[in-house]
Amino acid sequence: MIGTVRRRGDRAQRADLVIVANRLPVDRLVGADGAVSWGRSPGGLVSALAPVMNSQGGAWIGWPGDVGEDLEPFEHEGMTLIPVSMSAAEYEEYYEGFSNATLWPLYHDLVAKPEFHREWWDAYVTVNQRFADAAAAIAAPGAMVWIQDYQLQLVPAFLRELRPDLRIGFFLHIPFPPAELFSQLPWRRELLEGLLGADIVGFQLSGAAQNFIRLVRQRVGHKTHRDSVYLPDGRVVTAKAFPISIDKAHFEGLARSEPVQERASQIRKDLGNPRRIFLGIDRLDYTKGIYARLRAFSELIHDGHFTAQDATFVQVASPSRERVDQYRILRDDIDRLVGHINGDLGRIGRPAISYLNSAFPQAEMAALYVASDIMVVTPFRDGMNLVAKEYVACRYNDDGALVLSEFAGAANELRQAYLVNPYDINGMKAQMLEAYLADEKELTRRMRAMRKTVAENDVNNWARNFLGDLAAARPGHEKHVKPAKRS
C-alpha cells in the first residue's frame, strides 16, 4: 500500500507507544513525475510490527534508507514516522560495519569471522545516541518505548538517562550468543549495560535470555535470579523469551485469494508441472545455508532418487547488505554453484534450480508457498525464521512439507517439521528425500499440528505479551523523574 508524504513544519505530537528500529517500515517510491510516496517495506520485522502499530497508533523512529538527508516526521497508514538521518560514513561504519560485519556474525555462531574496529564502535555509539535522542523527544510522559534489534543495543541505557519516566522494552530478533562467543567483543560490558537500560529485554528463545543473564552476572557483576537482574539502584530488569511470529490470518487470506491461487497454478505450469517443487526463500545471507541445501538437492538427483523432471528447486534470494565482503563472496559462490548444477543436470526449458536473485511482493511469495510441495529452511543459525511460519500459514489444506534446520528458532515450536542439521549434508538429503516420498496422511498429520502452533501464537499474541509485560513494568528511578517538557 502506498501512502503520501505529509510533511509537517511543527513537531509531531507526543506518542504513548514508540517503536525504535533501525529502519522505518516504509520504502521511498519515486514516480515518473518525480513525486515521492512511501510504500510498506517487506521484511520480517516490519510485517511483525505493522499490525500492532496500525491497531494502536503510535510513532516509529527509524532510518529512511538513504544517506545524508534530513526528513521531517510524516504520517503513514496511521503511524507517525520519524526519520533518523545517517551520513555515508555512518552507514559504512555503524550499519555495514559494526552491525553487520561485527555483531551479525558474532551473534550467529561465527558462521563468518567478525571484524572488530574501534572506529566502527564509535559510529555505533553516535548513531545509537541519535536514536535515543529522537525517542526522548517524541515519547509522551510515562510512554512505552519498544526498541528493536541488535543495531540499537545501546539505546535503552541512553534513553533511560534522558527519560527515566518511560517504560522501556528491548527485543532482540536474532540469536544471543553464549558467553564464550560474546566475550570476544571488546565492548562486551558496554553492550550489556546498554541493554540493562530496558525494563524488559526480550529474546526469541529462553536459552538466549539465560545467556544474557549469565553474562550480566559474570561481566557486570549484578545479582541475578532466574529471569531477573537486580541493579544496585533498586531497579529490576526482566530477561525472557517472547518467540516472534507472523500475521497468520493475513497470510492464509492471501493464500486463499483468487489472484494468488491463479498465480500459483501458473507457477507450477511454468515449471513444467513437476511431481514435486522444492522452495527456498531467504535474504541472500551466509547464515541461511543456501549453498549447502542446493548441493543436497543436486546430489539427490545425481544419486538417482529423482530426476530434474520429477523435481525442481525454486530458490529466491533477495539481495541484502551487498557491499559487505562476506555477502559479495556468497553471491558469487551461489551464482557459480547454480550454474554448475544447471549445467550438469538441467535440460532445455527445465533447469534443476530456478534461482531468483530479487525481492518479491508478499502476494508473489504467497503464490510460491501455495505452489510448492516442500519448503526448505536450513539456516546454520537463525533467531526465528518467519518464512517457515509463513509457509505453514499458507498451507490451509494441511498439505506440504517443511524441512527445517534445528538451529532456527522456529524449530523450537515447529517440532513436526522434517528437522535437519544443516552442517550434515547426508542427513539433510535423507530428510529432503523423506519429505519428497511422504504420503498424504503423514504430511497432513505434521502440517495440521504445525498450523495449530502458528495459529496459537501469531504476531498479535507476541506483541500483546511483550507490551502487556512492559505496561506492568515499573519504570526505574521513579523518585528522580523530571517533569516532562511539553513541546
Residues that bind ligand F6P (CB under 6 A): 22-23, 43-45, 149, 173-174, 320-321
Q: Decide whether 267 or 290 has the Cβ nearer to ligand F6P.
A: 290
**Closest approach of Cβ 44 to ligand F6P, in Å?**
6
Q: Decide whether 21 or 279 has the Cβ nearer to ligand F6P.
A: 21
In 10 A of CB 480, how many CB atoms?
9
Report which residue's Cβ sits closest to ligand F6P. 45
One-character DSSP codes across 132-167: HHHHHHHEEEEEEEEEESGGGTTHHHHHHHH-TTSE
Q: 260-298 burial string, b = 16+ CB within 10 Å, else e?
A: beebbeebbeebeebebbbbbbbbbbbbbbbbbbbbbbb
**Closest approach of Cβ 184 to ligand F6P, in Å?**
20
Q: Decide whether 76 or 429 has the Cβ nearer to ligand F6P.
A: 76
Q: Decide whether 244 or 392 has the Cβ nearer to ligand F6P.
A: 244
- Contact in structure between 243 and 451 (CB atoms under 8 Å): no
Max Cα-Cα span within the chain:
75
**Closest approach of Cβ 41 to ligand F6P, in Å?**
9
**Closest approach of Cβ 60 to ligand F6P, in Å?**
13
Backbone angle region of 329, left / alpha / beta, with phi > 0 → left and psi within -120 to 50 → alpha:
alpha
Q: Decide whether 48 or 209 has the Cβ nearer to ligand F6P.
A: 48
Taking the C-alpha atoms of residue 201 and residue 228, their distance in angstroms, rounded to an integer, is 10
Q: Decide whether 43 or 141 has the Cβ nearer to ligand F6P.
A: 43
Q: Is the dihedral of CA 11, 16, 18, 24 positive or negative?
A: negative
Q: Decide whether 210 or 287 has the Cβ nearer to ligand F6P.
A: 287
Taking the C-alpha atoms of residue 30 and residue 9, their distance in angstroms, rounded to an integer, is 22
**Closest approach of Cβ 264 to ligand F6P, in Å?**
26
**Closest approach of Cβ 107 to ligand F6P, in Å?**
10
**Closest approach of Cβ 23 to ligand F6P, in Å?**
5
Supply φ then ψ for residue 144, to 5 degrees.
-100, 130
The grid cell for 439 is 504420503
Q: What element of type H or E holds 366?
A: helix 362-371
Q: Which of 45, 56, 46, 70 is nearest to 16 (CA)?
A: 56
